[in-house]
Amino acid sequence: MISASRLAVVAAAGLSVAACSQLPKPSIPLLKRDAGEASAPKTPDLPTLAGPKVTDLKPGQWAQELSDVAPDPAWRFGVLPNGMRYALRKNATPPGQAALRLWFDAGSLMEADDQQGLAHFLEHMAFNGSKNVPEGEMIKILERHGLAFGADTNASTGFDETIYQLDLPKTDDGTVDTSLMLLREAAGELTIAPEAVDRERGVVLSEERTRDTPGYRVAIKTLSAQMEGQLTPKRIPIGKTEVLKTAPAQRIRDFYEAYYRPERAVLVAVGDFDVDAMEAKIKGKFGDWVGKGPNGKDPDVGPVAKRGPTAKMIVEAGAPWSVQMTWTRKPDGLLETKAVDERDVLENLAFAVVNRRMQALGRSAEPPFIAGGAFKGDQYGTVRVTTFGATLTREGAGAIRCGTRLSLTTLRIAPIVWERMHERRGRMHACAQPIQNMGPNRWADETEYFNGRKLPILTRCPRRNPPFPQSACLG
């Protein structure tokens, strides 16, 4: 299965406008104001942060070892002598169940030109035979323990990761031991037999045809516009049809041995089990895993293009009318620290204000768009984007005018909100209680200037996303 969650974010973009990578903030002038109206506040410079980076991590090292953010004590983190990391958490909701995830720092970005699509192909081969499990038997073994293929047994391949998932309906020794055994087989004991590869080609090619939709093609073209000259748009996980049809099994094995290695793997287990016992099982099952040959190289994704404001019109039959405006810059690559958390909380609050206003517009009697929003984030370690976009309800030139005006409007709100959030940083704490006397649907009793007019600003307490399976946050 192809992991396309981040591709979906840009899938509706019919018009993409990218500003130059050097710009740290929006700089489009405000709309014309009436005489005598107050001016909007000056947009402040974004703070520049320093700190430990992802590239500072050594193989097998947890990020919290370099951070001033203490790890959650409910989790047990560990590293095996071979470099494989694991994270365990007891959670009895729902009772008697558990979730296992085996994550690899390996995706389509690591492929060579003649391997495009083979990271995903390899994921398929994990279910098609290994040293101790004959082809076709893995699913049957799991079904005997109550796991349904697709719902409880699955995997996904993205640009920069591959994940194998098992959701266990029970946590007795037999089910847990069998599940860990099968994950260990996938990690280092796959046979990747040529005849099995040939039998699986049709399945992979069928998935490629199924995903070739207007929205998917728009998403790829949008990535190409945002990441001009970079590797990521050239390494779409589904790959090239010709490669999928003709690649020999050895090229899949080459990728397997280079990137399915203990120092590139993390095993996460959450559920109703004894943590000490689970840790002992993981050490016993994965402790003898040794990589074959040299470790694969990390990809060179290329620099963010230095360019001025540019426009890209994407025409795709069947795709909705939409508009997207994006600012791109080099990712900072910072690990989570208290300073990074503070910056992100402030920025997320600003985006929450913008998105709430767009939601209000979308619920109006005659909304100009079907859906709209703003977001920011690093895209696969390739580029850091700040994006405003909307899927429109009108057609033709009117849709573009409407969408462009909407984007310009939200762009002007964002820096104003950012300034106020930045000024309040000394009085704010992540997940602090809401402003006094402010209910869940109340506007804070304060205003900001936008286009010379006062606007209410809603302040929200953000909720931190769970770092691991959703079941980790239940109970």
413 and 271 fall within a common domain: no
10 and 159 fall within a common domain: no
70 and 131 fall within a common domain: yes
335 and 419 fall within a common domain: yes
Domain assignment present for residue 305? The answer is yes
Domain end marker among 225, 255, 286: 286
311 and 275 fall within a common domain: no
Domain assignment present for residue 56? The answer is no
Domain end marker among 251, 286, 321: 286
Boundaries of domain holding 414: 5-51+301-473
C-alpha to C-alpha distance for 343 and 154, rounded to whole angstroms: 36
User: What's the chain's Rg over C-alpha atoms?
Assistant: 25
161 and 71 fall within a common domain: yes
Domain end marker among 239, 263, 286: 286
What is the model's pTM? 0.79
CATH number of the domain at 232, please.
3.30.830.10
37 and 70 fall within a common domain: no
Domain assignment present for residue 165? The answer is yes
Beta bridge partners of 103: 163, 266
Nearest CA to 279 out of 96, 104, 90 is that of 90
Which amino acid type is present at position 175? T
Domain assignment present for residue 178? The answer is yes
SS (H, E, C) 150-211: CCCEEEEECCCCEEEEEEECCCCHHHHHHHHHHHHHHHHCECCCHHHHHHHHHHHHHHHHHH
Domain assignment present for residue 291? The answer is no
93 and 178 fall within a common domain: yes
Domain assignment present for residue 295? The answer is no
Nearest CA to 18 out of 327, 313, 306 is that of 327
99 and 241 fall within a common domain: yes
28 and 79 fall within a common domain: no
Q: What is the pLDDT along the chain (475 residues), one digit of tens a residue?
A: 665 444 434 433 333 222 222 223 333 333 344 444 444 444 445 567 889 999 999 988 999 999 999 999 999 999 999 999 999 999 999 999 999 999 999 999 999 999 999 999 999 999 999 999 999 999 999 999 999 998 899 999 999 999 999 999 999 999 999 999 999 999 999 999 999 999 999 999 999 999 999 999 999 999 999 999 999 999 999 999 999 999 999 999 999 999 999 999 999 999 999 999 999 999 999 999 999 989 999 999 999 998 888 888 999 998 888 888 898 999 989 999 999 999 899 889 988 988 898 888 888 887 878 888 888 988 888 999 998 888 887 554 455 565 556 555 555 555 555 555 555 544 444 333 332 233 333 222 233 332 333 323 222 222 223 334 433 333 2
Inter-residue contact 40 to 30 (CB < 8 Å): yes
* Residue 109 per-residue DSSP state: G
43 and 65 fall within a common domain: no
DSSP string, 319-368: PPPEEEEEEEE----BPP-HHHHHHHHHHHHHHHHHHHHHHHHHTSSS-S
In this structure, what token pair is assigned to residue 117? 């699509």
Domain assignment present for residue 91? The answer is yes
Number of domains in the chain: 2
208 and 312 fall within a common domain: no
C-alpha to C-alpha distance for 448 and 413, rounded to whole angstroms: 9
Domain assignment present for residue 343? The answer is yes
